[in-house]
Amino acid sequence: MSDKNASVIIRTARPEDASALLDIYAPYVVNTAISFEYEVPSIEEFQARIKNILQKYPWLVAEKDGELLGYACTHAFVGRAAYDHSAETTIYLKENRTKMGVGKRLYLALEAISNVQNIYSLNACIGYPETEDEHLTMNSIQFHTHMGYRFVGKFYKCGYKFGTWYHMAWMEKILKEPPKNPPAVIPFPELEK
């Protein structure tokens, strides 16, 4: 039995990937409530996002035969010093490249890096429909549940898109029990040296 993902590589995103990554992200902005953005960012804005995140956190892409299939990253959770050992996750896959195990591989790579960085919990902020519709289903909740995240809270009707109010769910995964006196978080660029 062959591994359908054997030729998929997981690597760090580069600013020059921005156009291909934006092509993956744009349909989520335009057609879904998975992203709560209304406007597709410019390539320059997307490059800036990549560069900004890579200063401290990983932004990973899945690539097969030169085609980018998806991306995932961690980034600051809330943005206050006391939260430094936690991170928020983001993942987007090319629309025709879901259900291939790519998302799982990206998340497992993020978890491995987070462990080395001294990040002990990962948090996901996920659109949660009152009733599934053409813009938002429970797929993201189901994916995160499958990856070992647990549901920790819901903000009611906090996002408005396509004439519909959507809830926002928070899910978390504790990677390991945090020590009483945790060492400093290691910035991702230091791990790549």
Interval 5-58: pLDDT, tens: 568 999 999 989 999 999 999 999 999 999 999 999 999 999 999 999 999 999
CA–CA separation, 69 and 93 (whole Å): 6
Cα distances (Å, whole numbers) of residue 28 to 111, 135, 190:
24, 9, 32
Using one digit for the tens of pLDDT, what is the confidence trace for 49-107? 999 999 999 999 999 999 999 999 999 998 899 999 999 999 999 987 667 789 999 99
Using one digit for the tens of pLDDT, what is the confidence trace for 121-175? 999 999 999 999 999 999 999 999 999 999 999 999 999 999 999 999 999 999 9
Nearest by Cα to 37 from 45, 28, 49: 28
